[in-house]
Amino acid sequence: MAYDASAFAVGYFWGSRPLAATISPRKSWEGAIGATLVVVAVAIGVVAPSVDLLETIPRAVGLAVVVAVFAPLGDLAESILKRDLQLKDMGSVLPGHGGVLDRIDAMLFVAPAASLYLRLILA
């Protein structure tokens, strides 16, 4: 959620360079970079009360980077699917929001990647 919302906000106000113009022309590099910074800040904020900051902060930042890499990949994959199917929205349950799949597209890529990261880093 933090990634999608901040990517939208930063991209809306400052986005000028398309991230993948042929796939999703409104997504911008500025939005992706801004969202990455927000996700890292949120991760640090979440673990700040931790007892062992020297161990916890690098892990949290690593997880934030995983989110920042895989969230836009999920979003772009869903955009490719919509373009291939010549659809504007993936359903009508949430009209104007791209459909239900648009609400979870990033998570479809983030969840397995984050799970793998956590299994490897916490093992």
Distance of CA 48 to the CA centre of its chain: 22
Sequence ranges of the domains in the chain = 2-122
Question: Cα–Cα distance between 38 and 71 in angstroms, integer?
Answer: 13
17-65 residue pLDDT tens: 999 999 988 899 999 999 999 999 999 999 888 878 888 899 999 999 9
What's the maximum distance between 2 C-alpha atoms anywhere in the chain?
51
- Return the structure tokens found at 80: 């490719």
**Residue 94: pLDDT band with limits 50, 70, 90:** low
**What's the pTM value of the predicted model, to 2 decimals?**
0.84
Where is 28: in which H helix or E strand?
Answer: strand 24-28
Question: Cα–Cα distance between 43 and 41 in angstroms, integer?
Answer: 5
